[in-house]
Chain A
């Protein structure tokens, strides 16, 4: 028998989801991995001995760190000196999706959602958090979270057929 640290299994399950959220929270795409690393390490040091850490704690830590880092002028200066790589929402997903026109159109439609709706969709759909956990993570009321989620889905339903007709790379009319 050999032993494996439990964090590896935990990270294999949640790492990609955390990165997707961090990319939306980070002011600069290059910060996303740093955000996940810092938030995860902080939380795992506190709760890791239990062998199971609630993912919502790490999401909350990512958000708070992102806010702190955005306020940090020094860090901003350092980052501004770097050439920022272009990040699109589609980049977070498996490349094989691009073969499916509808899936591709959906992803491009999500890309166009307002950030506050996009983060709710991300946490609900891919991070599988409850509305209550999302509300705590984003410091919002439960009603606001539920409304944003519903508005986002309404927009996706409205946009995607249009996107498909026009082709995924053409702009659809703004809502």
Chain B
């Protein structure tokens, strides 16, 4: 047993004070439109299931059909998440199921096709956009951080110093006619090897 385990457990049990509501409001204001970049669906108070007493026979019927529905939903989720589990990791299944026909959860696991916008915009699509009132896209690159990963051995050649860079490539498309702006941010990683001269 780790000699520090008891102490670590004690320290982890300390509860931190939560940030003030005023601070959270300030963060929300500072986020601006970015606050709505990702949202999740929550059941409203009226949507919460209300437990009604049911006769025993009806209760059993309800239980059986619910079980069958749950089983079917689980099969569908497993089926659609199969292509994304190629890497050997366990498919992520949400622990809270809000509603049985939870379509967004299933959609999240759909395989990505070549035509999907997630794969970027092709040259043909870009030119089409220009024709229909889209301005020339603006592309920018942000360096997030970089790491010196030390000296690496290379078979057959001299060793090299390895640097890893993390970038965000941002492309913005603007259509002034329809007042539409599309922004795409894609993370990118680059590894730079600088050969070292042995002496």
Seen from chain A, the residues whose Cβ lies within 8 Å of a Cβ on chain B are 1-9, 11-12, 15-17, 19-20, 33, 36-38, 40-41, 44-51, 57, 60, 91-97, 102-103, 106-107, 110, 121, 125-126, 136, 150, 153, 156-157
- In the complex, the answer to whether A15 meets B19 with C-beta atoms within 8 Å is yes
**Residues in A whose Cβ lies below 8 Å from that of B26:** 33, 37
Digitize B20-53: 1 where CB-to-A-CB distance is under 8 Å, 0 elsewhere: 0001101100110011111111111001000000
Q: Tell me which of B35, B38, B42 contacts A1 (CB under 8 A).
A: B42
Seen from chain B, the residues whose Cβ lies within 8 Å of a Cβ on chain A are 4, 7-8, 10-12, 14-19, 23-24, 26-27, 30-31, 34-44, 47, 98, 142, 144-145, 147, 168, 185, 187
Q: With A48-B38, A106-B10 as known contacts, state yes or no: A94 contacts B15, CB within 8 Å.
A: yes
- In the complex, the answer to whether B17 meets A94 with C-beta atoms within 8 Å is yes
Q: Tell me which of A1, A19, A97, A126 contacts B12 (CB under 8 A).
A: A126
- In the complex, the answer to whether B16 meets A126 with C-beta atoms within 8 Å is yes
Q: With A1-B43, A44-B37 as known contacts, state yes or no: A16 contacts B17, CB within 8 Å.
A: yes
- In the complex, the answer to whether B31 meets A44 with C-beta atoms within 8 Å is yes
**Residues in B whose Cβ lies below 8 Å from that of A7:** 31, 35, 37-38
Shortest C-beta distance, B67 to chain A (Å), equals: 25
- In the complex, the answer to whether A125 meets B145 with C-beta atoms within 8 Å is no
**Residues in A whose Cβ lies below 8 Å from that of B10:** 102-103, 106
Q: Tell me which of B7, B24, B37, B142 contacts A156 (CB under 8 A).
A: B7
For A110, give the chain B residue with the smallest CB separation.
B11
- In the complex, the answer to whether A41 meets B14 with C-beta atoms within 8 Å is no
- In the complex, the answer to whether A49 meets B38 with C-beta atoms within 8 Å is yes
A91 and B14 CA atoms in complex are apart in Å by 12
**Residues in B whose Cβ lies below 8 Å from that of A11:** 19, 24, 27
- In the complex, the answer to whether A3 meets B18 with C-beta atoms within 8 Å is no
A157 and B10 CA atoms in complex are apart in Å by 12
**Residues in A whose Cβ lies below 8 Å from that of B12:** 125-126
A33 and B23 CA atoms in complex are apart in Å by 7
- In the complex, the answer to whether B14 meets A94 with C-beta atoms within 8 Å is yes
Q: Tell me which of A6, A51, A103 contacts B14 (CB under 8 A).
A: A103
The 7 lowest CB-CB distance pairs between A and B, nearest first, are: A16-B16, A51-B38, A48-B37, A94-B15, A6-B38, A3-B39, A15-B19
**Residues in A whose Cβ lies below 8 Å from that of B36:** 5
**Residues in A whose Cβ lies below 8 Å from that of B38:** 5-7, 48-51
- In the complex, the answer to whether B187 meets A9 with C-beta atoms within 8 Å is no
For A91, give the chain B residue with the smallest CB separation.
B17
Q: Tell me which of A9, A93, A106, A153 contacts B16 (CB under 8 A).
A: A93
- In the complex, the answer to whether A136 meets B41 with C-beta atoms within 8 Å is no
Q: With A1-B44, A45-B34 as known contacts, state yes or no: A92 contacts B16, CB within 8 Å.
A: yes
- In the complex, the answer to whether B16 meets A49 with C-beta atoms within 8 Å is no
Q: With A4-B39, A15-B18, A47-B187 as known contacts, state yes or no: A41 contacts B44, CB within 8 Å.
A: no
- In the complex, the answer to whether A46 meets B42 with C-beta atoms within 8 Å is no
A134 and B172 CA atoms in complex are apart in Å by 34
**Residues in A whose Cβ lies below 8 Å from that of B23:** 15, 33, 37
- In the complex, the answer to whether A97 meets B40 with C-beta atoms within 8 Å is no
Shortest C-beta distance, A130 to chain B (Å), equals: 14
Shortest C-beta distance, A48 to chain B (Å), equals: 4
Q: With A5-B36, A40-B27, A49-B37 as known contacts, state yes or no: A19 contacts B185, CB within 8 Å.
A: no
